[in-house]
Amino acid sequence: MKCNDLQLYFIMGSTNVHKRRPLEVLEEALQSGITMFQFREKGPGALTGQAYEIFAQSCQKLCKQCHIPFIVNDDIELALKLGADGIHVGQDDFPVAVIREKIGKMLLGVSVHTIEEVHTAIQYEADYVGIGPIFTTTSKSDAKPPCGTEFLQQVRTELPELPIVAIGGIDESNAQKVFKAGANGIAVISTICESVNIQHTVAILKSFQCNSTG
């Protein structure tokens, strides 16, 4: 994985899209230039059973067509069954050591909230860490209080080579601040799911990284 793969990391499940078909949103986002996709099917009304698996397969197929990494949120068994490119887990899931043993060389992303959690993720060869929520978010009902960019800056200073993706309330109004704080990429849900012009939204979000790095 290259750090640029994290530049614009789109996360979506069927419950995040309200005015269009989820697969249409994903396809447009892929064609517009997202660099990684995470399948996250959670919350009230989320698909289960066979419908859940079929939806995941459909998302994976679109990602393969566009050569974009397909990451599964939390569900190790699904990730292994589909042969996903990777899995992303939080601190409340299996211990990172157990997950790495199960998934082998698959990409591993880990949500972190303390420097100790960062070092544990590195110890078990996490390919990147997710830091957030940076700002207030409405996309995750179980989100922790926003941490701002301070922790992100701390991790970047201590570990300049670590791939970091920031998440939580990031949109066109604040993405540049997040990139300048040291993130390699930003993860968004509603900013793309609720966009009336996904191509324009993606272009703006990606431009901030270019502006902050050069």
Catalytic residues: 40, 111, 140
25 close to 17: Cβ distance less than 8 angstroms: yes
For residues 20, 21, 24, 30, the Cα torsion angle rounded to the nearest 10 degrees is: 90
Q: Cα(first)–Cα(last) distance of the chain, in Å?
A: 22
What does the block give as tokens for 157? 């200073």
125 close to 100: Cβ distance less than 8 angstroms: yes
CA 195 and chain centroid, separation: 18
Unique residue bearing structure tokens 């992100």: 152
Classify the C-alpha dihedral 40-42-43-48 as positive or negative.
Answer: positive
Cis peptide before 133 (omega within 30 of 0): yes
Of 90, 59, 55, 61, residue with least CA distance to 76 = 90
